Amino acid sequence: MGTRFLFGSMLVMLVAVASSAQEPDTLHTAQKTTGEKTALPRRVCLVVGAAGEVGYGEEFQKWAGRIQSAMHDSELLILDGVGDGLNASSDVIPKGPDSTTHRERILRWIRETPDEASVNWFIFLGHGTHEGKVTQLNLLGPDLSSKEFAEALSGKTGRWVFVFCNSSSAPFMASIAGPNRVVITATKSGSEQNFSRFGDYFSQALSDLSSDLDHDHMLSVLEVFLTASSGVAKYYEDRGLLATEQALMDDTGDGRGTPAVFYRGLRAVKGPSDKASLDGDLAKRVMIGGESGATHSADALDPREELEDELDRLRSRKGEMDIDQYYLELERLFLLLAQLQSESAKR
């Protein structure tokens, strides 16, 4: 009875803290703050590759429009390979004034990204190819290889999120995975060469309330990855089709990746057979701002990550602990996290 009382009181207190901090039925929107307590900046390079066919181009631009809306509060560079390539309307995604190729602009953007307290996103919507040992993104103009991409990233130590929503994208993961990086690919191998639908479901998940799997009114990269992967799987299942794409996510830096089926909700229910580290710890701490989530202030980020690390360690030891002591520790950590969230929301 003591354990149940403690856990019940914990839930009541957490609900009270959350209710005072934000509205119950909306995802918390990142707010700009003044003084020293500023939200972590976010830089985004959103690239729409060459369409190949008109229908694909229309899809890519629709997906890009959703992403642009969800990340409107970012420092945003958008490269549109459809407007020029198909002589189509580019109202949603205007062309940049730079006359250099998209390949050159991407590499320059990566190289010029400063190593500072920020989150840098690269999102690609389009087609990809994999032949032999060469994997490329199909761009307007010269294509971009995974080797060139990795070379541009050499020495970069900031926090990065890469989302490759294209066929044959998996080899990019092995090329660029590393510390402080989240890499998402629409496929698990270079041989999955059919048109990928992952970008459709990824772009929808950025503004879908159902993506908030833990109901904390914020979206993490892990939540969006899991929601998008579920949408792709359902697409093939509903049509009785064999899935031709299986998305992976890597954030441990080993370049191997983890599929969404290893998770039930936000809890891992399966792990690598060789006991390698499971991906997801970093991805669940990178929050998505704009219309669909919140960033944490720079001074609050490290304490939150330390508490979540401690929470993960506690959960892993549940079977070894006295159950009452386990719930006492769980209550303490949850209350500290709730306090941190409340303080962050008031800034």
Structural domain contains residue 203:
yes
CATH number at residue 129: 3.40.50
Q: Are residues 290 and 303 in the same domain?
A: no
How far is it, in rounded angstroms, from Cα 279 to Cα 173? Answer: 13
Q: Do 280 and 163 share a domain, yes or no?
A: yes
Q: What's the whole-number mean pLDDT along residues 48-58?
A: 93
- The per-residue pLDDT for range 272-285, each reduced to its tens digit, is 777 677 899 899 98
Can you tell me the distance from the alpha carbon of 173 to that of 16, in angstroms, rounded to the nearest whole number? 42
* Segment 161-192, tens digit of pLDDT: 999 999 999 999 999 999 999 999 999 999 99
190 plus 334 within the same structural domain:
no
Q: How confident is the model at residue 271 (pLDDT cuts 50, 70, 90)?
A: confident
Look at residue 313 in the predicted model and tell me its pLDDT.
78
Residues 271 and 329 in one domain: no
Cα 139 from chain centroid (whole Å): 22
Same domain, 283 and 304: no
Is residue 16 domain-resident? Answer: no
40 versus 202: the higher-pLDDT residue is: 202
Same domain, 342 and 265: no
Domain shared by 208 and 314, yes or no: no
Residue 290 and residue 226 share a domain = yes
C-beta of residue 59 within 8 angstroms of C-beta of residue 200:
yes
Confidence band for 38, pLDDT divided at 50, 70 and 90: very low
Same structural domain for residues 217 and 329?
no
Q: Cβ contacts of residue 239 below 8 Å, gap of 6+?
A: none
In-domain check, residue 117 = yes
**H-state helical runs in the chain:** 2-21, 54-70, 102-112, 146-153, 170-176, 198-205, 221-238, 298-316, 323-346
Decide if 103 is inside a domain.
yes
In a domain, residue 68? The reply is yes
Q: Residues 114-168: pLDDT tens digits? A: 887 789 999 999 999 999 999 999 999 999 999 999 999 999 989 999 999 999 9
Judged against a pLDDT cut of 50, whether residue 36 lies above it is answered with no
Task: Give residue-wise pLDDT tens across range 204-218.
Answer: 999 998 999 988 788
Checking if the pLDDT of 347 tops 90, the result is no
- Asked if residue 102 lies in contact with residue 141, where contact means CB atoms within 8 angstroms, the answer is yes
Residue 5 lies in a domain: no
Report the C-alpha gap between 282 and 294 in whole angstroms: 16
Report the length, in residues, of the chain: 347
Structural domain range at position 305: 298-347
**One domain for residues 327 and 197:** no
Q: Is residue 144 part of a domain?
A: yes
Strands 219-220 and 287-288 turn out to be antiparallel
pTM (two decimals): 0.78
Dihedral-angle region of residue 176 (phi above 0 means left; psi in -120 to 50 means alpha; beta otherwise) = alpha
Any bridge partners for residue 129, and if so which? 136
In a domain, 324, yes or no: yes
- Per the structure, the count of domains in the chain is 2
CB 336 within 8 A of CB 305: no
pLDDT at residue 87 is higher than 80: no
pLDDT of residue 338: 85
| Structure confidence by residue, pLDDT tens digits, 218-243 | 899 999 999 999 999 999 999 999 99
Residue 321 sits in the same domain as residue 220: no
Question: Do residues 102 and 217 both lie within one domain?
Answer: yes
